[in-house]
């Protein structure tokens, strides 16, 4: 499935909002991670402080006893902490467990919560960690019934700095208070993020609008750029370097385009006149040749004493007059094509004008249909009549003389925005290879004619901002459609 295409303004807006959301999520993740790290550090330090305080307390209690003994045995340690171990636990609010140096259980303060295997012997891994670490201290962590526990193990020394026992402190990581603080912090952050997101939306909206304002101006000008008209240059103020470069390139292109258009128009005019001159010369040569032959024949065969001299002179004159009429017709056709119709817009009733144009044709198979009794249009009456008569004349000529059912239908319709005039015939139609050349000057499929009728019609229609199209099928007929804006 293709992804939807968004405008540059929308993409800038979405990108800025996306960046704000990503930044907010990253800040929240970093905050939570940092808070968790600080919480863990807090528990580690608190356990370490508790351990040091308890060991100091134990050291004070053992000082008197140690003066009487050179070395503590397991039994003596049990007797020394018979009641005092519980007191220490109460004072420091911690459970205490004592083990001998071999890891065998000695004494417990019997804390209110129980941990599995608290009174079992210490494992070899714990004993090895105590021996190998520089501080002779080991802390393990485990989870039970959804709670997290730290358990520290460290040596207890006598006043001669000899290890006499192993102290174990089970520690419950109670995070209820810290979790509440974290939730409060995240709540406050969420309020800040929502406020920041609203501000970001507003800033992104105006910023994207400001960034794309110049591009919209350029787009509007580009839409109106035409080769055949004088184009306006773009004037943009307070734009970025990239936009200014684009505008300067466009303005430079407009200057070059105007120069090229002038050169092209001049070249096209020259080419058109050359083609017109060739066509005029060709068309005039056609009647001049028989005229020359007729004059030569008259000169060679003229005999004043011939009794039929008047009859022959009349025939010669008739031939010359026919050729002169042909040349006059050629001159009129080229004159009509060369003279562009002046835009003499007048309000005319198109229904009446079409009827008037069709009155000159006597063919009974021509019909006229309209959906309105009166259709007003701003157009030149003479030019409209030329258009209609030319299309109808072409339609008549396209129908073979021996065809049984001849039909030409002229349909005139209007709606709120435009007027449509169509001329349909059931003649031989236009072949596929000839369709692209229908409106070309000099192109014709008739044995007579110069191929200037339809180009002239197209010229008139486009001068009045209209359009002409056609549909044709061989042996079925052709329909020419004219559309005029109201």
Q: Domains, the chain, ranges and CATH?
A: 8-180 (3.30.450.20), 241-338 (1.10.287), 346-485 (3.30.565.10)
How many angstroms separate the CA atoms of 329 and 326, rounded? 5
d(C-alpha 58, C-alpha 80), whole Å:
10
The residue that leads in pLDDT, 15 or 369, is 369
Half-sphere CA count of 452, side-chain side, radius 13 A: 19
Radius of gyration of the chain (CA): 54
The DSSP code for 113 is S
Which residue's entry shows tokens 């005092």? 84
- What sign results for the dihedral spanned by CA atoms 150, 155, 158, 160? negative
Residue 113: other Cβ atoms inside 10 A: 12
Alpha-carbon distance of 214 to 280, in angstroms, equals: 53
pLDDT band at 113 (very low <50, low <70, confident <90, very high): very low
Q: Largest Cα–Cα distance of the chain, in whole Å?
A: 185
Q: How far is CA 108 from CA 50, 72, 94, 95, 119, in A?
A: 17, 18, 11, 8, 8
Alpha-carbon distances, residue 216 vs 8, 11, 192 (angstroms): 10, 15, 35
List pLDDT tens digits, range 255-269.
777 777 777 767 776
**Cβ atoms < 10 Å from Cβ of 403:** 12
**pLDDT higher than threshold 60 for residue 353:** yes
d(CA 94, CA 54) in angstroms, rounded, equals: 9
Give pLDDT tens digits for 364-410: 899 999 999 999 998 888 888 888 988 998 899 889 888 888 999 99
Cβ pair 98, 165 in contact under 8 A = yes
Q: How far apart are CA 249 and CA 246, in angstroms?
A: 5
At residue 198, the 3 state secondary structure works out as helix
**Where residue 184 falls among pLDDT bands split at 50, 70, 90?**
confident
Share of the chain above pLDDT 90, in %: 13
Angle at 294 between CA 292 and CA 300, to 5 degrees: 100
pTM of the model: 0.40
Helix axes of 381-398 and 350-358: crossing angle, nearest 10 degrees = 50
In whole angstroms, how far apart are CA 42 and each of 48, 93, 138, 179, 426? 10, 17, 17, 13, 99
Query: What does residue 244 show for φ and ψ, rounded to 5 degrees?
Result: -60, -40
Of the listed ranges 16-30, 137-151, 240-254, the one predicted with least confidence: 240-254
Question: What is the residue-wise DSSP string for 342-404?
Answer: P---EEEEHHHHHHHHHTT---TTEEEEES-S--EEEE-HHHHHHHHHHHHHHHHHHS-TT-S
117, pLDDT greater than 60: no
Confidence grade of residue 317 (pLDDT, cut at 50, 70, 90): confident
Mean pLDDT of the chain: 79
For residue 412, list its beta bridge partners.
Answer: 370, 421
Mean pLDDT score, 320-336:
68
The pLDDT of residue 112 is 43
Tokens representing residue 40 in the block:
């863990």
Structure token pair of residue 369: 């249909």
* Strand 163-172 to 97-99 pairing: antiparallel
Where does residue 5 fall: left (phi above 0), alpha (psi -120 to 50 degrees), or beta otherwise? beta
Confidence of residue 111 (pLDDT cuts 50, 70, 90): very low
Those residues with Cβ within 8 angstroms of residue 418's Cβ, 6 or more apart along the chain or in another chain: 483, 484, 485, 486
How does residue 148 score in pLDDT terms, banded at 50, 70 and 90?
Answer: confident
Separation CA 29–CA 26 (nearest Å): 5
Do 386 and 456 form a contact (C-beta atoms < 8 A)? yes
Q: Which of 152, 167, 183, 157 is nearest to 43 (CA)?
A: 152
Residue 168 has pLDDT above 70, yes or no: yes
pLDDT band at 420 (very low <50, low <70, confident <90, very high): very high
What is the helix (H) or strand (E) element at residue 112, kind and residue range? none
Q: Report whether 461 contacts 403 (CB < 8 A).
A: no
CA distance 89 to 54: 8
Structure tokens at 421: 């005039």
């Amino acid at each position: 499935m293709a992804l939807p295409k968004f405008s540059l303004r929308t993409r800038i807006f979405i990108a800025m909002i996306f960046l704000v959301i990503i930044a907010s999520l990253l800040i929240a993740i970093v905050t939570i991670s940092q808070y968790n790290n600080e919480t863990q550090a807090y528990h580690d330090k608190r356990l370490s402080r508790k351990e040091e305080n308890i060991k100091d307390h134990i050291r004070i209690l053992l000082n008197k006893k140690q003066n009487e003994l050179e070395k503590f045995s397991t039994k003596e340690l049990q007797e020394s902490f018979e009641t005092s171990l519980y007191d220490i636990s109460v004072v420091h609010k911690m459970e205490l467990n004592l083990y001998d140096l071999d890891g065998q259980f000695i004494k417990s303060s019997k804390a209110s919560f129980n941990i599995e295997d608290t009174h079992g012997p210490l494992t070899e891994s714990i004993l090895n960690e105590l021996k190998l670490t520089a501080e002779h201290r080991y802390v393990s962590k485990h989870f039970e019934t959804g709670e997290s526990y730290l358990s520290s193990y460290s040596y207890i020394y006598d006043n001669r700095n000899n290890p006499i026992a192993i102290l174990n402190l089970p520690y419950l990581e109670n995070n209820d208070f810290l979790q509440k603080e974290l939730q409060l912090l995240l709540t406050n952050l969420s309020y800040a993020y929502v406020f920041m997101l609203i501000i970001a939306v507003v800033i992104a909206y105006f910023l994207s609008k400001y960034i794309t304002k110049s591009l919209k101006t350029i787009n509007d000008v580009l839409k109106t750029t035409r080769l055949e008209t004088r184009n306006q240059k773009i004037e943009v103020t307070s734009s970025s370097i990239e936009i200014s470069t684009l505008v300067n390139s466009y303005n430079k292109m407009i200057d070059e385009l105007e120069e090229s258009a002038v050169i092209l128009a001049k070249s096209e005019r020259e080419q058109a006149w050359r083609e017109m001159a060739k066509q005029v010369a060709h068309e005039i040569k056609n009647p001049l040749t028989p005229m020359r032959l007729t004059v030569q024949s008259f000169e060679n065969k003229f005999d004043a004493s011939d009794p039929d001299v008047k009859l022959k002179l009349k025939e010669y004159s008739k031939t010359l007059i026919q050729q002169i009429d042909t040349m006059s017709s050629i001159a009129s056709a080229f004159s009509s094509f060369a003279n562009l119709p002046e835009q003499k817009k007048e309000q005319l009733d198109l229904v009446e004008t079409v009827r008037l144009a069709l009155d000159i044709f006597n063919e009974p198979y021509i019909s006229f249909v309209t959906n309105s009794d009166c259709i007003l249009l701003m157009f030149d009456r003479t030019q409209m009549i030329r258009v209609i008569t030319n299309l109808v004349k072409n339609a008549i000529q396209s129908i073979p003389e021996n065809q049984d059912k001849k039909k030409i239908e002229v349909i005139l319709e209007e709606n709120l925005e435009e007027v449509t005039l169509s001329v349909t015939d059931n003649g031989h139609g236009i072949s596929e290879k000839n369709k692209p050349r229908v409106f070309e000057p000099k192109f014709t499929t008739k044995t007579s004619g110069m191929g200037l009728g339809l180009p002239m019609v197209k010229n008139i229609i486009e001068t009045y901002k209209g359009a002409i199209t056609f549909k044709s099928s061989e042996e079925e007929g052709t329909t020419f459609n004219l559309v005029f804006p109201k």
